[in-house]
A and B are shown apart, each in its own frame.
Chain A
Amino acid sequence: MVNVSIANVSKQYGITPVITDMTLSVEPGDLFFLLGPSGCGKTTLLRMIAGFTEPTAGTIMFGERNMRGVPPHRRNTGMVFQNFALWPHLTVEQNVAFGLDVRGFSREDKKRMTTDALTLVRMNSYAQRYPHQLSGGQQQRVALARALVVRPDVVLLDEPLSNLDAGLRIEMRKEIHRIHHELGFTMIYVTHDQKEALSLATKLALMNCGVMIQVDTPAQMYQNPSSVFAAQFVGETNILHGRVTRNDKNVLAVDLLSGALLCPTARAAREYVAGSAVTVSIRPEGLHLTPDPQGANVWPCVIAETTYLGEVIQLVCRTRDAVLRMTMLNTAGAHPRPGDKRHVSVNPAHVRILDAE
């Protein structure tokens, strides 16, 4: 296993920039996610790592090895394609054995390794079938086995679950997690599904319009997004606009139309001086209805909408300048109704102060 480092990589098609000056490092054993909306360049980046396209500028290194000019078949990566790309003229077994074939393994080794790989993805009883005789989920498993069997330095997954229906997607998510856990391969995984990324990644890189926005662990990314885009793309959030009124050593005060907000300075993405315009992100779980109208971070609000979801109730309430979404546990007692005048309390631990947008 190697670490994959990408340094100042840019890619242009003609004059259209697809990726601009991107730098990141994937450590051995990472299940590294490239996350971003469609068209943000994440698949292009993956294809550059695989060697199907060369960067216009910058370097891609596998360990100490500069990959510029190295053709795809000399890179020892194992890629799982979005459409699986199982060769229709070969059986499941032949598909999986192909990579071993071209590497010149002996017949016995080939047989053994193929069986092992198919067992790993629980497809060993389908070895003699052809791809068109398999369901989508089964094809996915075979595609995974085909990529893993050659013991690649890095496994590349290009939106591997996007062609599966919702139920299968969750099942395969667990499957990929299990396989990564069992084998400890370095994997780079492209997706636009933030839930997939949060639930699987050991580390994730958020991209937008060909630019790297943030590289972090899922928990860090969710709790401490560095930009409004990151706050909105990863998880649900409420966005408000205001101005910093005070910044002493520990506490930051922000004036919002909805009311005043006090929070630890650690909740700010960077140092803000009094007077700077900021955008505030508040996660739904940081909002609660409170009976007590007094105290810090409590704002008056009107309930606009309630959605009954069983164990939780989803609320939309209107403050003076914002529409806030939150959920409350479905505990005994009177439920809020649209039109009710209430107070909402903000938990500063779930607040993030960001550059104004």
Chain B
Amino acid sequence: MRKLDGSTVLLGLVTLFLGVFLLLPMAVVLVKAVYFKGHFTFAFMAQLFVHPGIREGMWNSIQIGVYSTVLSAVIALPLAWICVRYRFPGRPLLNGLMLVPMVMPPFVGALGLKQVFARCGSFNLLFESLGLPMVDWLGSGGMLGVVLLEVLHLYPMMYLNVAASLSSVDPVMEEAAANIGAKPWTIFRRITLPLMMPGFFAGAVMVFIWAFTDPGAPLVFEYRACIPVQIFDRLSDMNENPVGYVLVVFALVTSVSFFLLSKWITRRKTVIPSGKGAALASERVPTMLGYAVIYFLLTVTTLIALIPHVTVLLVALSDRWFMTILPEKFTTEYFRLAVTHRLAASSIRISLVLSAVSTLVDVVVGVALGYLFVRRRSLWTEWLDSLVMLALAIPGIVLAFGYLACFKDISFGRFTLDPMVDAFPLLIICYSVRRLPYMVRASYAGFQQLSETFEEAARNLGASAGCVLRRITVPLVSSQVIAGAILTFSFALFEVGSTIVLAFREQQYPIAKAIYLLNMRLVDGPNIASAMGIIGMIILSISLVVTGTILGNKMGELFRAR
């Protein structure tokens, strides 16, 4: 028998952890959807196709997912093309700007957008004063607003994937086609496009899953006819009524199928990265007209992307803003309230702690796994890799619902997993499981770039194992690890789906749930909530800037390399 070494123990522990906190809840949800009061029945499953409210919700959610994906592609594809293929002043800045939308989650943006685009919001009032007809900006009941917010939040995800894929297309492949007489458009259609498809699909599926299952923006718009909100609404009677499980199963199956489909497509057409600096050779300097088009596109995109930020800021600063185009009076009172108000202040603190702890867990586990996946390849690590990545396909609200179904009654002595008593353990676990893929991928990339001979050279020159780790390995992978950690932290800070499901007691509310609750308070709730959103955004921006300073100009590459 083989000796039990550290890496085997670690793989075993992580497998066990993911088995219990990823696979088990999903299995329980699947079972409870068809097994009710002691016997199997597909009657509740049939509700998906019979019940008019549920059918409407399904249709709406699918539309939100599809529209968001298509729109994100429309924005991201030209941007990626421009940024990878053209050299122009200000391009490095663009990689930074790409992060701006990511620091503003849809449910925060919704607070501001509601004020500006509502039936009696700024735009319609402006139109009215100009004698133009009023427009239903948010679309039937708010779907358009939801799509807009999802797109403005998610198109960077598409951009990063497409840009990475595009920059790994070897220009030699295009040159080879040109050499045998293909015209530029033919080259794009027959060579470049197929080669960048894997990146596009990877991005598209992530955008779809996020938009399709995000309950945050719809809740703020009070747009209830979609699956994630319907799941949320059925939490209270999940023990008596299995329809909640059925909805969760629908969301789960849809997400996972799309995820697997994209993995399958990607697997078949993997781009083999070519020699050094291949992408550089294909960079072009645009013509005058080209410059005009590029800067016009960039300006418009950036301005549109900033709409949620600006409107949220306005709401947070406005003293009175009712039936007027712009606020009548400004105040900083709501910022003061955001840090002193019992619910608001504690939620910010709680979110920071939860995010930090789950990030720490992910860094430790993710770096170890990244190392093992690169250096100790085996069937087990490949299988575990797929399992970790599966977390990307499981929506937060679905996972949290599964946790409730599984762990509500579990406790060991004084330690309990019951979120009604103490939500923190499950929240931390949930955040960690959901963000682990980013950390693993980031450190995986780091270790893959790190040739083993770098470590051997140091060993050879007399450095002990600890010294090699400290002076060679860690510095060489640190940039990837830091990037992964920041991504993990910022996503956890504004995590909505699992937070609103798992946080039950007001004194344990993280930011997302506090904003949800405050938004429903009539008088100053939305203003305080907006101020909280801005504070969260500032924290995120600072952490991104700090990383940028530490990493220097490598920052942009990192988010691209992922």
Contact = CB atoms under 8 A, between A and B. Distances in A.
A339 to B, nearest CB: 43
Contact of B462 (A83, A87, A99, A156): A99
Interface string B471-515: 110011000000000000000000000000000000000000000
B454 interface: yes
A50 B460 contact: yes
A65 interface: no
A52 interface: yes
Contacts of B129: none
Interface in A121-165: 146-147, 150, 156
Nearest to A96: B461
B459 interface: yes
Most buried by A among B460, B465, B467, B471: B460
Interface in B343-380: none
A227 interface: no
Given A73-B464, A102-B467, A87 B459 contact: no
Sorting the interface of chain A by its residue count into under 10, 10 to 19, 20 to 34 or 35 or more gives: 20 to 34
B133 to A, nearest CB: 61
A85 B461 contact: no
A50 B455 CA distance: 13
Contacts of B467: 73, 102
A350 B475 CA distance: 58
A85 B459 contact: no
A87 B454 contact: yes
Interface in B223-245: none
A146 B461 CA distance: 8
Contacts of B471: 98
A71 interface: yes
A150 B460 CA distance: 10
B462 A85 contact: no
B105 to A, nearest CB: 35
A98 B461 contact: yes
Interface stretch (A31-39, A74-82, A229-237, A248-256): A74-82
A156 B464 CA distance: 19
Contacts of B453: 81-83, 85
Contacts of A300: none
A288 to B, nearest CB: 48
Interface residues of B, number: 18
Contacts of B179: none
B328 to A, nearest CB: 56
Contact of B456 (A52, A74, A78, A147): A52
Interface string B203-221: 0000000000000000000
B134 interface: no
A89 interface: yes
Contact of A78 (B451, B461, B472): B461
A103 B467 CA distance: 12
B462 A150 contact: yes
Interface in B435-475: 451, 453-454, 456-465, 467, 471-472, 475
Interface in A80-98: 81-83, 85, 87-89, 98
A56 to B, nearest CB: 16
A264 interface: no
Contact of A98 (B451, B463, B464, B476): B463
Contacts of A52: 456, 459
Contact of B460 (A78, A82, A87, A89): A78
A310 B115 CA distance: 89
Contacts of B460: 50, 72-73, 75, 77-79, 147, 156
Most buried by A among B456, B462, B463: B462
A85 B460 CA distance: 12
Interface string B84-96: 0000000000000
B3 to A, nearest CB: 15
Contacts of B457: 79, 81, 85, 87, 146
Given A89-B475, A102-B467, A83 B461 contact: no
A182 to B, nearest CB: 21
A71 B462 contact: no
Interface in B282-338: none
A76 B462 CA distance: 7
Nearest to B456: A52
A77 B459 CA distance: 10
B459 A72 contact: yes
Contact of B451 (A73, A83, A103, A156): A83
B456 A150 contact: no
Most buried by B among A76, A81, A150: A81
B454 A102 contact: no
B459 A73 contact: yes
A33 B459 CA distance: 23
Contacts of A150: 461-462
A223 to B, nearest CB: 36
A84 to B, nearest CB: 8
A198 to B, nearest CB: 28
Contacts of B463: 73, 98, 102
A12 to B, nearest CB: 16
Contacts of A89: 475-476
Contacts of B462: 73-74, 76, 99, 102-103, 150
A52 to B, nearest CB: 6
Contacts of A147: 460-461
A85 B454 contact: yes
A339 B196 CA distance: 59
B238 to A, nearest CB: 52
A79 B453 CA distance: 10
Interface string A50-81: 11100000000000000000011111111101
Contacts of A71: 459, 465
Contacts of A77: 460
Contacts of B476: 87-89
Contacts of A76: 462
Nearest to A47: B456
Contacts of B456: 50, 52, 72, 79, 81, 85
Given A83-B451, A83-B453, A102 B475 contact: no
B464 A85 contact: no
Nearest to A99: B461
Nearest to B472: A87
Nearest to A50: B460
What 10 pairs between A and B have smallest CB-CB spacing? Answer: A99-B461, A85-B453, A72-B459, A85-B457, A79-B460, A81-B453, A102-B463, A73-B462, A102-B462, A73-B459
Interface of B: 451, 453-454, 456-465, 467, 471-472, 475-476
Given A89-B475, A98-B471, 10 more contacts: A50-B460, A52-B459, A72-B460, A85-B456, A87-B457, A98-B463, A102-B461, A102-B462, A102-B467, A103-B462
Interface of A: 50-52, 71-79, 81-83, 85, 87-89, 98-99, 102-103, 146-147, 150, 156
12 contacts: A50-B460, A72-B459, A73-B463, A73-B464, A73-B465, A82-B453, A85-B453, A98-B463, A102-B462, A102-B464, A146-B457, A150-B462
